[in-house]
């Protein structure tokens, strides 16, 4: 592991991990043109310069995902460093035969950021440390759900999402609960834009059908959830 990780303060234009020459190992400049898979082989051989190249290559993309989800720069910068530390520690788990390094990294960044966001919501971080007005209307609704969950609401959400396959559920959650766009979801999941769009609208159709059946059974009024998420979905 490199000797230190530079603090990622918001006033720094180009945060990067410290680099050094490792004797007979290839140095940072020699590693720059190499592909991600080769760099990961160097990382597994404990070449810190290779890890520094990967960090410099992708830290902005990881930070963008963390900021999009956490909506707080300090938290996003902290999770950025935690993600790359874990990536370094778990380098042996990367299998190029199962997919690209970039996809592995982005999926790791997404799930790690989600876990942190859930922790912060439960601890009431949003509202105390970040104005609720800074959240999207949907995030504000999620916050209220965590503040005062009801068994009926939990049951409804569980039943509705259980109707979706894994790809549809993942896409709808990423779009609605995390505020990611179709291109961003495609990038993280390593799927085509067309596939993401298909998962989203197929899942949405199932949810709307479920809501219509609930209204027929209960005699309830039309729900605003009928207007779920078509607006800006293509952004």
pLDDT, tens digit (0-9, with 9 covering 90-100), for 117-155 = 877 876 677 665 555 555 555 555 555 555 554 555 556
Q: Are residues 92 and 181 in the same domain?
A: no
Q: What is the pLDDT of residue 114?
A: 86
Count of C-beta atoms within a 10 Å radius of residue 190: 14
Residue that is last in its domain, among 135, 164, 191: 135
How many domains is the chain built from? Answer: 2
Q: Are residues 129 and 188 in the same domain?
A: no
Q: Domain span at residue 24?
A: 1-135
Q: Are residues 63 and 176 in the same domain?
A: no
Q: Are residues 171 and 116 in the same domain?
A: no
Is residue 217 a part of any domain in this protein?
A: yes
Compute the distance between CA of residue 16 and CA of residue 180 in angstroms, rounded to an integer.
26
Residue 105 belongs to domain with CATH number: 1.10.1740.10
Q: What whole-number percentage of the chain has pLDDT above 70?
A: 64
- CB 65 within 8 Å of CB 58: no
Q: What is the pLDDT of residue 171?
A: 85
Q: Are residues 192 and 117 in the same domain?
A: no
pLDDT digits (tens, 9 = 90+) for 21-80: 445 678 989 999 999 999 999 999 989 999 999 999 999 999 999 998 888 899 999 999
pLDDT digits (tens, 9 = 90+) for 153-193: 556 666 777 888 888 888 887 787 676 788 888 888 888 88
Q: Are residues 174 and 126 in the same domain?
A: no
Is residue 144 a part of any domain in this protein?
A: no
- CB 101 within 8 Å of CB 40: yes
With H, G, I as helix, E, B as strand and everything else as coil, classify residue 71.
coil
Confidence of residue 14 (pLDDT cuts 50, 70, 90): very low
Q: Are residues 27 and 112 in the same domain?
A: yes
Is residue 109 a part of any domain in this protein?
A: yes
Q: Are residues 93 and 201 in the same domain?
A: no
Mark residue 127 as left, alpha or beta (left: phi above 0; alpha: psi -120 to 50; beta: remaining): left
């Amino acid at each position: 592991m490199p000797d230190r990780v530079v603090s990622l303060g918001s006033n720094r234009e180009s945060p990067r991990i410290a680099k050094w020459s490792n004797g007979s190992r290839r140095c940072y400049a020699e590693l720059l043109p190499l592909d991600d898979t080769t760099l990961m082989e160097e990382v597994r051989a404990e070449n810190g310069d290779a890890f520094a190249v990967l960090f410099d290559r992708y830290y902005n993309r990881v930070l963008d995902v963390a900021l999009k989800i956490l909506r707080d720069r300090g938290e996003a910068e902290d999770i950025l460093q935690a993600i790359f530390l874990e990536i370094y520690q778990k380098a042996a788990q990367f299998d190029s035969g199962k997919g690209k390094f970039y996809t592995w990294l982005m999926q790791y960044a997404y799930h790690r950021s989600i876990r942190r966001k859930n922790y912060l919501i439960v601890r009431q971080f949003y509202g105390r440390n970040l104005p609720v007005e800074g959240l999207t209307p949907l995030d504000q609704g999620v916050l209220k759900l965590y503040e005062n969950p009801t068994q009926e609401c939990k049951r409804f959400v569980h039943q509705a999402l259980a109707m979706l396959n894994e790809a549809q559920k993942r896409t709808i959650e990423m779009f609605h609960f995390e505020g990611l766009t179709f291109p961003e979801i495609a990038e993280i999941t390593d799927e085509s834009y067309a596939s993401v769009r298909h998962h989203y609208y197929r899942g949405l159709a199932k949810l709307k059908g479920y809501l219509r059946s609930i209204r027929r059974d209960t005699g309830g009024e039309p729900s605003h959830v009928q207007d779920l998420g078509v607006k800006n979905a293509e952004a």
